[in-house]
Amino acid sequence: MVYIYSKNLKKSYLMGLIPPIFVAGFVITIAMGWPSLQDLILDRLAEMDNPIYKAIIGDMGLEGLGLNFQAALFMYAGGTMNLIGLFVSIFVPVKLLSSEADEKSLDIVLSYPIPRWRYLLEKFGVYLTYNLLFPFFMASSMIGTAVILGETYDVVLIINYAFGYWLLLFGLGSIALFCATIFLDSNRSLAAAGAVIIASYLLDSMGGLLGLIDLQFLSLFHYFKIDGILEAGMLPLGEVVTVIAVGFGFLVSALYLFDKREISY
C-alpha cells in the first residue's frame, strides 16, 4: 500500500537518525557540564538578550524563562535545532526529488503504474517521519536530564515547542519540495530553496535590527517562539493554522506540479 514510503524509510534510516541523535547528544553534553559550568552557561544565557546575538542565531523568545537549566537547554538545543533544521529543511526535501532527477532514475520509477503525486507524497512522508525524531529526542533528552539533575522543567512547554518545531520543518520542507518540483535538478532547486528559506530565516532573525518588524510575520521562523507558547499555555492557534496552511499549500502545489509537469533533464 505504501511501499515507496516503507522502502525509503528503511533505506534512509541512517541519514534520518543521525541529526536527531546529535541534538539529543548535545542536550546530554550540556546537562553533564551543567553542575560545574552552571555560572558560565547562565552568563551566556544572559548575553543572549543582546539584539546582535538574536540577529545572528535567531530570537527564540527565551526572556520569559529566566536564568535556569531549562532556559540553558532551550538556548543550546533549540539554537542547534534551528540551524540543523535550516539545512535539513532545505537539503532533504530538495534531494528527495532532485537526486533522482540528477541520476535519471525517475524515468524507470515513473514507468510503473504509480501516480506521480503519490510517489512524491510518500517520499515526503519519510522526511516528515524522520523529522518527528527531532522533537522526540529533544523532549525526552531535556526531560530526562532535568529529572536526573533534579532541575525544574515545564513539560507542556517542552512538548509544545518540540511539536511546533516539527510543524515548522513541515512548512519549510514543503517550500523546498515545491522549489524542487519547479527545477528538478539539484543545483537550481537547492539555490531556489536555499534563497527562500535562508531569506525567511534572516527576515526573522535580523528583521528587528533592520526595522522590518512588520514584515517578520512573513517568515515561518517567526512563529512558535518560547515566550508565545508560555503566554498561550500551548502553541498559539493562529500560528499553528498559519504554518500548516503554508505547508499544506506548498505541498499540494508541489504534488500537482510534479504530476503535471514534463520530466526533462
91 CA to centre of own chain: 11
Part of the chain binding another protein (CB under 8 A), chosen from 19-27, 75-83, 87-95, 99-107 = 99-107
- The answer to the question of residue 110 lying near another protein (CB under 8 A) is yes
Say whether residue 107 binds another protein (CB under 8 A): yes
Name which of 38 and 99 has its Cβ closer to another protein. 99
Residue 11 found at the interface with another protein (CB under 8 A): yes
Query: Which of 36, 39, 103, 214: binder of another protein (CB under 8 A)?
Result: 103
Taking contact as CB under 8 A, which single stretch among the options 3-11, 69-77, 151-159, 174-182 is the one that binds another protein?
Answer: 3-11
Considering beta carbons, is residue 11 or 25 the nearer one to another protein? 11
Q: Judged by CB under 8 A, does residue 262 bind another protein?
A: yes
Q: Are 119 and 197 in contact (CB under 8 A)?
A: no
Pair 204, 58: CB distance under 8 Å: yes
> Interface with another protein includes 182 (CB under 8 A)?
no
All cell numbers assigned to 83: 540551524
Among 69, 227, 43, 66, CA closest to 152: 69
Of 220, 85, 225, 81, the residue nearest 157 (C-alpha): 225
17 binds another protein (CB under 8 A): no
Cβ proximity of 95 and 181 under 8 Å: no
Residue choice 35, 36, 112, 211 for contact with another protein (CB under 8 A):
112
Sequence-ordered list of residues with C-beta below 8 angstroms from that of 182, at least 6 positions apart, any chain: 189, 192, 257
Binding residues for another protein, rule: CB under 8 A, are: 3, 7, 11, 103-105, 107-108, 110-115, 262-264
